[in-house]
Chains A and B, each alone.
Chain A
Amino acid sequence: MGTALDRELKKGNAELLILALLEEKARHGYEIGKLIEERSEGIVRFHVASLYPLLYRLERRGWLKGEWEPAGGRRRRFYRLTATGRKTLATQRAHWREFSSAMNRIVEVRCA
């Protein structure tokens, strides 16, 4: 994706991406970063130096809860959605749908 447009589309959606990925199950930071890259087929990638501060911020807001759990012979910090986080995800998702639907109506119009 082009850099300028890419940047514009990314703005404001980082929280939504993380909340959405944690909806199904709890995940650790490395997994979240890889999943964003894989599911977007490499188009969207997180800078790791920004991912962790964002996770800590969402945790401070009470949208996520981080807990240490054993995994692969060592403990990992897994993040899961809180009830507040689920409500926020629902709201943000609704906004995203409205926005993308509006964008599609404009972009997908064909001349008769």
Chain B
Amino acid sequence: MHDWKEIVRLRLTPLPLEPGRREEVIEELSHQLEDAYKEALSAGASEPEALRRSLAQFNDWENLRKDVFRAVKAEELPVWQQRGILSPRRPWVWATLVLSLALLALSGFRQALTTLSIPMNTGPSQDGFFSTRTLAQIERQAAAQADARALAFVALHHPDINEAARAAEKAIALDSHLTWISARFARAYPLDHDPAPWIARLKAWDPDNAFPYLLEAGAFFEKRTSGAEWSSRSQLELRRMVGTESDISVPMQKAFAAPKYDNYAAQRFELDRAVFKKQGWDRPDLLMFAEASQPVPNLLVTRTYAEYLVKDLGESVEKAGRNEEAAAQYRTVAQFGVRMERASTDIERLIGIAIRQISYKRLLPLLRLQGRTDEAVLLESDVADLNEGIELTRGYRWTERAAGRAASLVLISGVVVLVLAAATLTWLGSVIPLRWKENGSSLLNCFASVASVAPPLLLLASLSLYGAYYPYIRHIDQFESAGQLARDVGPLWDTLAGLRWEALHQGSWPMMLWPTVWCVVVAVIGIIILRWVASGRHDGGLPEE
């Protein structure tokens, strides 16, 4: 004979009712099983079949346990008494939480999480990239330790140009090899800033470098065209201005004649990385944005001056029949293009290519005209190389597209991880007190029951974030140059910064804030109504078979 009460007790435990009421429920349900069993036997079923039919009446004991508790006590079964797959009694739920926390031990995952805190602005003149508080702290430490490199770092990245200049003076006084940081002050903005002393210092320190001369010409051009309607001027007018106004043409002439072109990007990258490492910032994103504020010469002036040399001066020399002199002029321009092309930034490389193309366009027919076929063939080969350089740029754009897709996934996963982390904390905040006092609060119990899905979902979202970011995980030591940094992870971080900027500044967030709040309110009301309707069905509806 079966012990029906024991069968029910085993399946319905724990049932946290008063002991007397619990025993009544167990006894009553055991009678139901026994009656069904006897009826099946009397209908001719075998004993095992009768037992099977009897037990089949309650195919979901966990649900029955919850329903009985809810019916008797008018509240949810305490979360620590639940045995569903998301119950805190299940070790796997805690395992998902531990795994999510374990992911934090991976530097790649931590890097992925920083996607939500990347800076919005990247220029040295903009506030907020490195906080002034952080920079002040670095400066204090650097001054105490006579650390010229850290002072130079402050000079390069302080948003206040006067503070930056003060740090720069200290850094250069400690180590004159750092005079290249003067380039940071060689632009004509802000308007009350005078770049001339800094440019003069840079030229005196590095006279063979084209870069300071280009900065000088650019600074004058920027002051000259500030607020003027220069953008509406024709190419010809611009060429004449750049070629004939001595404040521009003299430094440009020196720049094109200088034996080297060094924009100090390599020194700057090494310095920034050293300070990052000293500060414990393994943040390729911050390093990339720090390098993005690298000063570049005024590219319009540079290109326009190259066009002036080729199209205006070169053509007039050709017309005068001095072909050798014209060819030499074109070659000077092309050689400058080659030097500029070797610079680390893509924009300088592209301008270098453009300058060579401007030069070759005149030089090639001139060489053929002179019958110098061998030289012309060599030059044609150079032109092919230039086209290859442009193709590389196209390849970079393809990388940007792939990175754009990855960026969207990383951003969405990151936001979901944040939301679920908050939900998991809520769950923990409810579950832990209830562990010691199971019937402590029905509100906490409700939170704990609803949020029980958060820990496993947090793990899934974290894995999704990690997976999407995985191809871009790098230590800052893994980059050889700012250029490699920009090529490898630049498209991803640029897109991420752009997505966030668009969301915050182009109306998406403000536009989406109240609709989102509204949706959340509607969802909460909807859940409450659904639960009320469901409880009404339990109360008044005929149960389904």
A14 touches B74 (CB 8 A): no
Complex Cα spacing A30 to B30, Å = 11
B-contact bits for A70-91, CB 8 A (1 contact / 0 none)? 0000101100000000000000
Set of chain A residues within 8 Å of B60, measured between Cβ atoms: 49
| C-alpha spacing A2/B21, complex, angstroms | 39
Q: Are A60 and B543 in contact, with the CB atoms below 8 A? A: no
A51 to B64, CA, bound (A): 10
**Are B64 and A60 neighbours in the complex by a CB distance under 8 Å?**
no
Residues on A with C-beta less than 8 A from B58 are: 48-49
**1/0 contact trace for A1-34 toward B, CB 8 Å?**
0000001001111110100000000001110010
Nearest B residue to A33, CB-CB: B32
In the complex, A33→B58 CA distance in Å? 14
Beyond A7-B544, A29-B28, A60-B74, 6 extra complex contacts between A and B, CB < 8 Å = A10-B542, A13-B542, A49-B59, A53-B71, A56-B71, A77-B24
- Nearest A residue to B72 via CB reads A56
Contact between chains at A57 and B539 (CB < 8 Å):
yes
A48 touches which of B57, B63, B71 (Cβ 8 Å): B57
- Residues of B with C-beta under 8 A to A28: 28, 31
A28 to B32 alpha-carbon distance, docked (Å): 9
- Cβ–Cβ contact A45 & B545, under 8 A: yes
Cβ–Cβ contact B57 & A12, under 8 A = no
* Interface pair A52/B74, CB less than 8 Å apart: no
* B68 in the interface (beta carbon within 8 A): yes
B58, B63, B538, B544: residue with the most chain A Cβ atoms closer than 10 Å: B544
- In the bound complex, residues from chain B placing their C-beta under 8 Å from that of A74 are 31
B29 at the binding interface (Cβ < 8 Å): yes
Query: Do residues B35 and A30 form an inter-chain contact, with CB atoms below 8 A?
Result: yes
> What separation, in Å, do the CA atoms of A12 and B538 have in the docked complex?
9
Please state if B71 and A49 are interface contacts (CB–CB under 8 Å). Answer: no
Q: How many A-B contacts are there with CB distance less than 8 Å?
A: 87
Q: How far is the CB of B342 from chain A (nearest CB, A)?
A: 76
B537 and chain A: residue at smallest CB distance = A11
CA distance A29 to B30 in the complex (A): 11
- Any B CB within 8 A of the CB of A94: no
B532 to chain A, nearest CB (A): 14
Per-position 1/0 for A33-73, Cβ under 8 A of B: 10000000000111111111110110010000000100000
8 of the cross-chain contacts (CB-CB < 8 Å) are A48-B57, A49-B60, A49-B63, A52-B68, A53-B68, A54-B71, A56-B71, A77-B27
A46 with B71, Cβ < 8 A, contacts A29-B32, A30-B35, A77-B24 known: no
What is the interface of chain A, defined by CB distance below 8 A to chain B? 7, 10-15, 17, 28-30, 33, 44-54, 56-57, 60, 68, 74, 76-77
CA distance A45 to B60 in the complex (A): 18
Interchain CB contact (< 8 A) of B540 among A14, A46, A47, A76: A14
Chain B residue with the shortest CB-CB distance to A46: B543
Closest to B63 in A: A49
Kindly state whether residue B541 has any CB partner on chain A within 8 Å. Answer: yes
Tell me, yes or no, whether B318 is within 8 Å of chain A by CB: no
Find the residue from B72, B74, B538, B542 having the highest chain A CB count within 10 A: B542
Q: CB-CB < 8 A to A12: which residues of B?
A: 540-542
A17 touches B542 (CB 8 A): yes
A14 vs B540: C-alpha distance in the bound complex, in angstroms? 6
- Is B368 close to A, CB under 8 A? no
Distance in angstroms from B473 CB to nearest chain A CB is 51
Contacts of A46 in B (CB 8 A): 542-543, 545
For A14, list chain B residues within 8 Å (CB).
540-543
| Contact assessment for A47 and B68 in the assembled complex, using a CB-CB cutoff below 8 Å | no
A78 to chain B, nearest CB (A): 11
Q: Is residue B70 within 8 Å, beta carbon to beta carbon, of the partner chain?
A: yes
Residues of A within 8 A of B25 (CB): 52, 56
Interface string of B525-545 (1 = CB under 8 A from A): 000000000000111111111
B32–A30 touching, CB < 8 Å: yes
In chain B between 14 and 70, which residues have their CB closer than 8 angstroms to a CB of chain A? 24-25, 27-29, 31-32, 35-36, 57-60, 63-64, 67-68, 70
Contact status B540-A15, CB under 8 Å: yes
Minimum Cβ distance to chain B for residue A80 (Å): 15
Nearest A residue to B68 via CB reads A53
Least CB distance from B230 to A in Å reads 76
CA distance A13 to B57 in the complex (A): 21
Complex contact A52–B544 (CB within 8 A):
no
Contact A50 B67 (CB under 8 A): yes
| Complex CA distance for A27 and B27, rounded to whole angstroms | 16
A8 shortest CB reach to chain B, Å = 11
A49 close to B67 (CB less than 8 A)? yes
The answer to whether A56 and B68 touch across the interface, beta carbons within 8 angstroms, is yes
Q: B544 to chain A: which residues have CB within 8 Å?
A: 7, 10, 47, 50
Minimal beta-carbon separation of B534 from chain A (angstroms) = 12
Smallest beta-carbon distance A65→chain B, Å? 13
**Nearest CB on A from B225, distance (A):** 77
What is the CA–CA distance of A10 and B60 in the complex, to the nearest angstrom? Answer: 22
Q: Is the CB of A11 within 8 A of B72?
A: no
Task: Given A53-B71, A53-B538, A54-B538, decide whether A47 and B35 contact each other with a Cβ distance below 8 A.
Answer: no
Bound CA span A97–B57, Å: 32
Q: Which partner residue on chain A sits nearest B32 by CB separation? A: A30
CB distance from B361 to the nearest CB of A (A): 78
Do A53 and B70 contact each other (CB < 8 Å), given the known contacts A14-B541, A30-B31?
yes
State the CA gap A77–B538 with chains docked (Å).
21
Bound together, the chains give a CA A15 to CA B544 distance in angstroms of: 13
Beta-carbon contacts under 8 Å, B68-97 to A: 68, 70-72, 74
**Residues in A neighbouring B542, C-beta threshold 8 A:** 10-14, 17, 44, 46
A9 CB to closest chain B CB (Å) equals 8
